[in-house]
Amino acid sequence: MSHEQSLLWSWTDSQDTVSLRELSHCCGLTEDELDDLVAYRALKPVSPATPERVFSAQWVMPLRNAARLRVDYDLDMFTVAILLDKLTRIEMLQRQVQSLQARLPAHLQSDLGA
């Protein structure tokens, strides 16, 4: 695993923040494309009023997935904005399901294939 990959994994498990430049480098979208996503309100800075916008590191993986799908299906940025919203919603729901499954007794977890 490269240093960048290990850094990406640590970002997704933390409350760290990344600059626009770092986010661009990690996800494969240009800074202008990320600005478009901010304009579409699909990508939200931690504090938009500061001169250098920073973003939650939790955006790295959804943006990487959206960038890959953009290339695979030749999507425009408006469509990527919609896609990003759905990807983050799916990720949130998956975390909720995992949390609920973790609360189940062990014998019920095995019945669900958890």
Task: Collect all residues with Cβ–Cβ distance below 8 Å to 15 and sequence separation of at least 6.
Answer: 56, 57
**For residues 36-48, average pLDDT:** 92
Location of structure tokens 């500061």: 50
**Three-state secondary structure call for residue 56:** strand
| Residue 11 pLDDT level (bands cut at 50, 70, 90) | very low
Q: Report pLDDT digits (tens) over 52-94.
A: 889 999 899 999 999 999 999 999 999 999 999 999 999 899 9
Q: What confidence score (pLDDT) does residue 105 get?
A: 85
- Residue 68: which CATH number? 1.10.1660.10
Total number of domains in the chain: 1
Its domain, for residue 27, covers 3-112
Q: What confidence score (pLDDT) does residue 106 get?
A: 80
Task: Collect all residues with Cβ–Cβ distance below 8 Å to 106 and sequence separation of at least 6.
Answer: none
